[in-house]
């Protein structure tokens, strides 16, 4: 459970304390590996008893092995993509398949708590396994560095640099199933409050932000973005109790941000001095430094101030 929680945590945040979450996620992975031999003995015993759910148990074991393997391949950089999919996608996919199975397994195969569980000896053993996981984590990081593996050049979120200062080299990424729309800027407008902005009006703004985008898919890049800060754009569009800013794309993808972040969010029309490409969000996209890539809404169509708190939304987009 710790490994799922830290994995989700690492996805949610891209700055500050996230580094601890990511490190904990790595250590938890090693702890699972360390416990595997012991668990294998228990599982082998259980497997010989024919009972319902045996194939589910087997699937769970396979799912966890796959999640660990692909996590290892991504983080070391030994294999970052396998054909059309990335190791990171397989890592997350295997984890998502395993999660309901873990829940089922905990309910269907309860481990009865023993009085001895809280004994000093057992607590010390737990501490030692965790310390062993941490040591393995540090050793692997060292080995990556000495061996010159790509894994040592990752950001603390686990992401690899791709296309900094060169937008053409930067991946075009969609969160789930969104498709890149073809938008003709001459019949596109941006609705902000009651006002509609044309592309040319927006393109006249030239606030520049060197912003780092870090996709949960495992890559990051820094670019010079250019456009208008939401705090400038929203002047006059404020409502009575502004609590959040809701940004929606032409495709229906949307995110809500705390209202107080307005001066940190840019609506960009240019990247590296030239208009955005369709893939990167033309005509206009959000630049949200410090937030993971899924907050950087592309193809923005509407920006509204709302009295609803920003956290009244799914933690991750649903499309
Ligand atoms: N409308 C819309 N905006 C979106 C997405 C999406 O699926 N739809 N994906 C997000 C994700 S997950 C990332 S990492 C960035 C990627 O930006 P890029 O394609 O310009 O590199 O866009 C974000 N903005
Ligand atoms: Mo992403």
pLDDT, tens digit (0-9, with 9 covering 90-100), for 72-100: 999 999 999 888 899 999 999 999 999 99
Identify whether 52 is part of a domain.
yes
Domain boundary among 158, 183, 209: 158
Answer yes or no: do 134 and 33 share one domain.
yes
pLDDT in tens, 208-237: 999 999 999 999 999 999 999 999 999 977
> Ligand 1, closest atom to CA 171?
21
What gap in Å lies between CA 259 and CA 230, rounded to an integer?
A: 10
For the record, the structure tokens of 137 come out as 């984590």
Note whether 284 and 244 are same-domain residues: yes
The rounded distance, in Å, linking the Cα atoms of 189 and 192 is: 10
Q: Give me the half-sphere count of Cα atoms (radius 13 Å) on the Cβ side of residue 143.
A: 10
The answer to whether the CB of 271 is under 6 A from ligand 1 is no
Whether 172 and 153 map to the same domain: the answer is no
- Together in a domain, 12 and 143: yes
Domain boundary pick from 140, 158, 176: 158
- SS3 label, residue 29: helix
Cα of 110 from ligand 2 centre, angstroms: 37
Per-residue pLDDT at 4 exceeds 90: no
* Domain termination site, one of 121, 141, 158: 158
Task: Measure 111 CA to ligand 1 centroid, in angstroms.
Answer: 42
Cis amide bond preceding 283, omega within 30: yes
**316: in domain:** no
Atom of ligand 1 nearest to the CA of 217: 14
Instruction: Give the residue, out of 181, 247, 296, 302, with the most ligand 1 atoms within 8 A of its beta carbon, to mutate for a pocket test.
Output: 296
List the domain range (segments joined by +) for residue 116.
Answer: 2-158
Q: Is position 315 within any domain?
A: no
Q: In this model, does residue 7 exceed pLDDT 80? A: no
Residues with CB under 5 A from ligand 2 (ion): 173, 215-217, 293
Ligand nearest to the CA of 221: 1
298 within a domain of the structure (yes/no): yes
CA of 104 to the centre of ligand 2 (A): 30
**Does 294 fall in a domain?**
yes
In a domain, 319, yes or no: no
* Torsions phi, psi for 214 (to 5 deg): -130, 100
Test site for ligand 1: of 161, 166, 167, 175, most ligand atoms within 8 A of the Cβ: 175
Asked if pLDDT for residue 6 goes beyond 80, the answer is no
Q: What's the CA-to-centroid distance between 290 and ligand 1, angstroms?
A: 15
The answer to whether position 275 is within a domain reads yes
Q: Supply the pLDDT for residue 13.
A: 65
Which pairs from 191-199 meet CB under 8 Å and 24+ separation? 191/301, 191/302, 191/303, 191/304, 192/233, 192/234, 192/237, 192/302, 192/303, 192/304, 193/234, 193/236, 193/237, 193/304, 193/305, 194/237, 195/236, 195/237, 197/233, 199/269, 199/283, 199/284
- Are 125 and 10 found together in one domain? yes
Q: Which two tokens stand for residue 215?
A: 């996709």
Q: What is the CATH number of the domain that holds 285?
A: 3.90.420.10
Q: Yes or no: say if 34 and 136 are a contact pair by the CB < 8 Å rule.
A: yes
User: In this structure, is residue 28 part of a structural domain?
Assistant: yes
Chain centre to alpha carbon of residue 276: 23
Atom of ligand 1 nearest to the CA of 300: 1
Nearest CA to ligand 1 atom 17: 173
Residue 143, CA distances (Å) to 23, 47, 158, 189 in order: 16, 37, 16, 53
Domain count, the chain: 2
**How would residue 43 be classed by pLDDT, with cut points 50, 70 and 90?**
confident
Structure tokens at 203: 């393109």
Number of the ligand 1 atom closest to the C-alpha atom of 214: 14
């Amino acid at each position: 459970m710790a490994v799922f929680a830290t994995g989700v945590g690492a996805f949610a945040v891209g700055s500050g304390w996230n580094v601890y979450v990511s490190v904990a996620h790595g250590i938890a992975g090693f702890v699972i590996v360390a416990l595997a031999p012991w668990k294998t003995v228990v599982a082998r015993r259980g497997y010989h008893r024919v009972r319902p759910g045996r194939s589910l148990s087997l699937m769970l074991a396979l799912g966890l092995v796959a999640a660990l393997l692909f996590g290892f391949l991504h983080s070391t950089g030994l294999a970052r993509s396998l054909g059309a999919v990335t190791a990171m996608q397989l890592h997350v996919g295997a984890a998502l398949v395993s999660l309901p199975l873990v829940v089922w397994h905990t309910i269907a195969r309860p481990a009865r708590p023993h009085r001895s569980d809280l004994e000093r000896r057992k607590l010390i053993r737990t501490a030692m396994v965790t310390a062993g996981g941490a040591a393995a984590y540090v050793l692997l990081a060292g080995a990556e560095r000495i061996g010159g593996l790509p894994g040592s050049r990752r950001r603390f979120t686990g992401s690899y640099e791709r296309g900094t200062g060169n937008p053409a080299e930067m991946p075009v990424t969609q969160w789930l199933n969104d498709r890149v729309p073809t938008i003709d800027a001459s019949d596109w407008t941006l609705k902000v409050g009651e006002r509609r902005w044309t592309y040319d009006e927006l393109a006249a703004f030239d606030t520049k932000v060197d912003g780092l985008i870090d996709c949960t898919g495992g890559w990051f890049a820094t670019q010079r973005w250019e456009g208008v800060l939401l705090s400038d754009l929203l002047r006059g569009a404020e409502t009575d109790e502004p609590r959040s800013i809701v940004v929606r794309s032409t495709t229906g993808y949307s995110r809500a941000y705390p209202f107080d972040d307005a001066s940190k969010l840019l609506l960009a029309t240019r990247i590296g001095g030239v208009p955005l490409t369709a893939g990167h969000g033309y005509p206009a996209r959000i630049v949200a430094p410090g937030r993971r890539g899924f907050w950087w809404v592309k193809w923005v169509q509407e920006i509204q101030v709302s009295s609803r708190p920003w956290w009244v939304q799914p933690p991750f987009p649903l499309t």
